[in-house]
Structure 1
Amino acid sequence: MQSTPQNQESTADRTRAHRTPAYAGREAVLVRQRARRSARSESEANKLAAENLDLIQQIVNQVATRYPRHVDRGELWSAGAMGLVEASRSYKPETGVPFGRYAAIRIRGAIIDSTRKRDWAVRSLRRRMRELHDAEEQFEAAKGRKPSEEELAEAIGVPLDEIHSRKAASVASSLLHLDQEDQDRVSLGERIRENTPDRIPDEHLAEREMIGTLRTAIGGLPELQRDVITRYYLNGEMLQSIAESMGVTEARISQIRAEAVHAMRSYFTTMYSDVAEVPEDAPGRRNRAAYLANMATKSTWLTRLQAAGPPAASHQAAG
């Protein structure tokens, strides 16, 4: 019987349909085997790392003596932990090397690499500083006291100026963490007081808001009160001078000033808890109520901050 193209095609289709599942089945088996090996190796690696956590602190204690006291031991431990994890993943038992010995090398290397990345001082500088430190320790062990700079220079065999330059370089190369705590658990950042408020974000923001609040309060006053407050408090004019220029008595200007101050103080009490309340019977009660209602609709935190102007301008105004 002669096969037709249709018969040939259907035979080929049946052949492919028959072969494909077997091939796919073998691939699926291989994939599952690899997945089980991967899961098993990851589980074994995690177990190795967990069983050897104490090794990290041992290595940290060994290498910490090479670094100044300001170097954070916690950061050394973290770097060592990364080294231990990498060691557990790359360890091959068939080499015959005990895991503890292999991991110790990787942990020590990870710690050293991490400190080198954070250290901007060149190796030659570190070598000269270490030579100076070793000479100081040897002299103190032999003589029972700290050496003078002249004695250090003689011990190392360098001019006195070289001792001065090495100590200066040592100070400049020591980087301290502001969040590092001392024995009283107080951070270095808390010990150091910043005398320039605009360098402290939260304090600078609070200062700008206060300046903007003051400007907003003055700007919201009626024109006559605003003019008196500006001329008396900001321009330093005397009440008598203001009264003469306006053609009124000094007592009237004093009354306008008092009403304006009461209105502004009432506004400040809505934002600051340490501002004293204005007495209910203080002069200008009706105008004060209208002023507060107007400020409540027009004043927001953002508008007050914008009223302070650019940071540089607000800092100059504060000064």
Structure 2
Amino acid sequence: MGECVAFGNKTSALWKKYSRTKKIEYRDELIVSYLHLVKWVVGRLGATFPSFIKNDDLYSSGVTGLIRAVERFDPSKKSKFESYAILLIKGAIIDELRKLDWIPRSVHQKASQISSAQCELQQKLGRDPTDEEFAEHLGITTENFFELLARIRPIILIPLSAKIFDDEESAPLVEKIPDQNVQTSSEIVHKKEFGKILERAISKLPEQEKKVLKLYYYDELMLKEIGKILGVSESRVSQIHTKALLKLRGQLGSYR
């Protein structure tokens, strides 16, 4: 407890010095103080990407996001720096991954096939399809369907985390959070409107998918921890998560 208070007092003093002088030395001290946030974000995101993407590369991009967060943050707004920084750290990492263009075209095509199958089966059945119905519709085994979900997982995560849409003109979601220093009324309204649409989209998901999203994004648990709570394997949680994101991605596509 004493260490937390000491850390809080130290960073509070640093923020005051940096806000007043904008000296690089104070900025760098703040960056070092919050490097644990980069490590935390990399740990969460890194588990969702292929093994050839090294955590060291993600960490480097994350530090860039942290620097941006420190330089932009305004302590006088009384908002929590950690929440703001995590958004920019994630944004920087995902922007770098998009530049690499490491996902094969065939995986993009498979993601589109699953999205189309989701819509067709929902209309035909009047409910969410089971994994077995999904697989039968696609003409593959259930095991192959699960393998397919694992392959498309990164392509689903990146657009939702980085952009609301796939088109070039759409802004990254992190940029839709108004800058603390330039917060216009239209930006605030836009953010609230998107929040309501996202909330409605989530409310339509099956209970298990809603629970996984809540535990992952709000309670910030790892997939393995969620699996223990739900009594299923980590890979099963990953499948549920991916299917939920597929549905949200489809519903948010109408938000222009």
Q: TM-score normalised to the size of structure 2?
A: 0.36
Larger radius of gyration: 1
Higher relative contact order (CA 8 A, sep 6+): 2
Q: TM-score normalised to the size of structure 1?
A: 0.30
